[in-house]
Amino acid sequence: MSYVDEVIAKVIEQNPAEPEFHQAVKEVLESLRVVVDANEEAFRKDALLERIVNPERQIKFRVPWVDDKGQVQVNTGYRVQFNSAIGPYKGGLRLHPSVNLGIIKFLGFEQIFKNSLTGLPIGGGKGGSDFDPKGKSDREVMAFCQSFMTELSKYIGADTDVPAGDIGTGAREIGYMFGQYKRLKGVFEGVLTGKGLTYGGSLARTEATGYGLLYIVDEMLKCHGDTLKGKTVAVSGAGNVAIYATQKAQQLGAKVVTVSDSTGWVYDPDGIDVAALKEIKEVKRARLTEYKNYRPNSEYHDGKGVWTVKVDIALPCATQNELNLDDAKALVANGVMAVAEGANMPTTLDATEYLQKNGVYFIPGKAANAGGVATSALEMSQNSERLSWSFEEVDSKLKDIMVNLYHNIDDAAKKYGFEGNYVVGANIAGFEKVVDAMNAQGIV
Ligand code: NDP
Ligand code: 2IT
């Protein structure tokens, strides 16, 4: 059995009931085959792949808090510190009822390679809890965040591990967590990113993931002699990534006709009204059913359906495995030309393969959504030098990072004979830097 197949089999055996983690490992290791086969003896001797797929540390803890009725609630908190070869652990905190160890491990594993691709000195980590912020009062969210941070604070620090936002964790949650960390430790340091602008946050971090997604798509189209101007786009999700992806797509001349949330989706033939979307989701924290009040020409549908709309470009920006083989078939039948992942692993493996086989340009999340964590690393730099850069300065650095990232993955794919396969390109380019750093640091 090849080394790659052996390690995949071991991961499945040793981590039962973690299907998302298996999926992420399979995707990465399968596309590293060409590199691993060429170095099989050395990699095997050093158990390099076993070390890559095993987190350096995983922390699981109880999070008790008191709800508004006086009832004690208990959630589970996680932080997986996956790989620190190239820098302090870096990655978001997800707050969603679906969170379990396997989900956090898949996200942490992806984060290693994503962070490497940014070109910045950040290792891979991820955390979160099965707490659901939906429908909770601000006081309940604060109580949870303070309890969560009381335990998490023992394991993180500006030079050790720097968490940030993800699904369910936005500016409000980061604020409560930062306040509790500072109170416990008595240190004002850049221990979290995505902070508010009045206490060390970076301009453009809020926009960064969505904007970065469009910068890389724009560069890819340019390199294929095309442009975003006049393209029709389907976006899924209606959260941080989806909102700013929609905004930047429209600034670059495309028309976004869909958004979705966990209960339904919107089709707006005139192009999504970003101001309305922001008010519904960022201010009111309401459902997309409200969108029709702002745009009477739009349609609201219950359930799933964004990928059935005829578009040129699809940008999944909600959650994992939201674009499956049937969705890929519908997109291809409607003539889609590009799919880029704003979310982490939103496309199933068979759907990715189908899209690629049918000539669709496909940029995987670890490249396409890297603008968020890259800008988090810029926030860390600003915190270290105790300065704040202008919006334009951060945005222009973000754009450079995404353009370089595109060429990096494109070149890696070409170098190994997989021209146009950005999955292979991203995994190889991300992996090579981490392996180099791991080898230099000995068996640790
Ligand atoms: P938000 O919580 O801001 O928004 C998530 C959106 O996706 C919401 O509209 C939510 O619906 C929808 N959604 C979440 N879970 C599900 C689900 N199980 N089924 C259907 N819809 C769902 O999160 P973000 O925008 O920050 O994150 C979106 C994706 O992007 C995630 O995969 C995240 O890991 C990834 N990502 C985020 C980055 C960031 O900087 N924030 C950086 C890189 C990647 P509802 O409104 O009903 O809750
Ligand atoms: O998946 C991701 O890259 C994020 N949620 C952002 C992580 C970060 O540290 O900014």
Residue 141: give its domain's CATH number.
3.40.50.10860
- Domain end (from 188, 215, 239): 188
pLDDT band of 172, cuts 50, 70, 90: very high
pLDDT band of 208, cuts 50, 70, 90: very high
Do 220 and 144 belong to one domain? no
Return the structure tokens found at 199. 């206490």
Residue range 384-424, pLDDT digits in tens: 999 999 999 999 999 999 999 999 999 999 999 999 999 99
* 423 part of a folded domain: no
Q: Which residues of 270-293 are buried (b: 16+ CB within 10 A; e: fewer)?
A: ebbbbebbbebbeeeeeebebbee
pLDDT band of 72, cuts 50, 70, 90: very high
* 385 part of a folded domain: no
Do 152 and 228 belong to one domain? no
Residue range 418-441, pLDDT digits in tens: 999 999 999 999 999 999 999 999
- Out of 109, 209, 394, mutate this one to test ligand 2's pocket (max ligand atoms within 8 Å of CB): namely 209
**Paired strand residues for 233:** 256, 313
In this structure, what CATH number is given to the domain that contains residue 274? 3.40.50.720
Do 74 and 181 belong to one domain? yes
Ligand 1 centroid distance, CA of 217 (Å): 20
Residue range 32-60, pLDDT digits in tens: 999 999 999 999 999 999 999 999 999 99
Do 23 and 106 belong to one domain? yes
* 357 part of a folded domain: yes
Using a 6 Å cutoff on CB, does residue 164 contact ligand 2? yes
* 432 part of a folded domain: no
Residue range 142-157, pLDDT digits in tens: 999 999 999 999 999 9
Q: Supply the range of the domain harboring residue 287.
A: 206-363
Do 286 and 232 belong to one domain? yes
Catalytic residue among 126, 231, 281, 304: 126
Is 195 annotated as catalytic?
no
Is residue 260 within 8 Å of 236, Cβ to Cβ? yes
Atom of ligand 1 nearest to the CA of 342: 30
Task: Report the pLDDT value the prediction gives residue 52, as an integer from 0 to 100.
Answer: 98
- Domain end (from 313, 333, 363): 363
pLDDT band of 298, cuts 50, 70, 90: very high
- Domain end (from 188, 222, 244): 188
Task: Report the pLDDT value the prediction gives residue 75, as an integer from 0 to 100.
Answer: 99
Do 279 and 141 belong to one domain? no
CA–CA dist 41, 321 (Å, integer): 35
DSSP codes, 82-125: EE-SSSSEEEEEEE-TT--HHHHHHHHHHHHHHHHHTTSS-EEE
Do 294 and 333 belong to one domain? yes
Closest listed residue to residue 427, CA positions, set 164, 56, 49: 49
Do 17 and 107 belong to one domain? yes
pLDDT band of 373, cuts 50, 70, 90: very high
CA–CA dist 138, 144 (Å, integer): 10
Domain count, the chain: 2
Ligand 1 centroid distance, CA of 320 (Å): 9
Span between the terminal Cα atoms of the chain, in Å:
26
Task: Report the pLDDT value the prediction gives residue 426, as an integer from 0 to 100.
Answer: 98
Residue range 262-274, pLDDT digits in tens: 999 999 999 999 9
When the pLDDT of each residue in the chain is averaged and rounded to a whole number, the result is 98
Task: Report the pLDDT value the prediction gives residue 4, as an integer from 0 to 100.
Answer: 98
Using a 6 Å cutoff on CB, does residue 165 contact ligand 1? yes
pLDDT band of 74, cuts 50, 70, 90: very high
Do 254 and 336 belong to one domain? yes
pLDDT band of 69, cuts 50, 70, 90: very high
Task: Report the pLDDT value the prediction gives residue 268, as an integer from 0 to 100.
Answer: 98
Do 17 and 164 belong to one domain? yes
Task: Report the pLDDT value the prediction gives residue 356, as an integer from 0 to 100.
Answer: 98
